[in-house]
Amino acid sequence: MTKNKERLFNTHKDEVIKNYMKANKNEKFPFAELSKLFLKEHVTLKAKQIAHRWWNKLDHRLSKVPIINEEKSYIKSWVESHQKARPIIQWNELQSEMKKKFGKFHSRNDLKNVWYSYKRYLSRGNNKNNIDNSKAKLSYILNDDDIYKYSS
């Protein structure tokens, strides 16, 4: 971002979005309506930009705690199993499932970050066999089974 460029969102815009979403919970197309509302203020924000901001930053249900390893494993297995049925990942479905299973409502971006980090990791040739082999070597070097316990 350049120094001269105004930030897309600021505190005032965030407050407008939060207040509108709170007051219009059952609105069918809230982000399109918000976009029109901002246009009246001579601010151009697309509905998709507003939706992204809401889903990943402003929604009061979003968890502020980091994703733990158990949740990361669940994300990986969920995406792998659901990608077989349809190639487009439904992040909102995963988000709801995570809320049911773990009681935390993580942002869609956080879920995507876990998945795409894992994919990058695999693409570098770091598959499970390589990991198991390196752990076995480490255990052998340490020569102490109590120091190194492998848990999958």
**Looking at the structure, do residues 122 and 73 belong to the same domain, yes or no?**
yes
**Looking at the structure, do residues 138 and 73 belong to the same domain, yes or no?**
yes
Residue-level length of the chain: 152
**Looking at the structure, do residues 89 and 138 belong to the same domain, yes or no?**
yes
Residue that has been written with the tokens 């601010």 in this structure: 43
Q: What is the pLDDT of residues 77-113, one digit of tens each?
A: 999 998 888 889 999 999 999 999 999 999 999 999 9
Give the domain extent around 45: 11-58
How many domains does the chain fold into?
2
**Looking at the structure, do residues 76 and 133 belong to the same domain, yes or no?**
yes
d(CA 108, CA 112): 6
**Looking at the structure, do residues 79 and 132 belong to the same domain, yes or no?**
yes
Asked if 47 and 32 count as a contact pair (C-beta separation under 8 A), the reply is yes
Show the DSSP H helices in the chain as ranges. 11-23, 30-40, 47-53, 69-85, 91-102, 108-123, 128-142
Asked if 27 and 33 count as a contact pair (C-beta separation under 8 A), the reply is yes
Asked if 76 and 118 count as a contact pair (C-beta separation under 8 A), the reply is yes
Q: What is the pLDDT of residues 5-58, one digit of tens each?
A: 568 899 999 999 999 999 998 888 999 999 999 988 888 899 999 999 999 999
Smallest Cα–Cα separation from 24: which of 57, 54, 62, 66? 54
Last residue in a domain, options 58, 81, 96: 58
In this prediction the pTM is: 0.69
**72-76, 96-100, 122-126: least confident range:** 122-126
Q: How confident is the model at residue 68 (pLDDT cuts 50, 70, 90)?
A: very high
Residue 131 has pLDDT above 70, yes or no: no
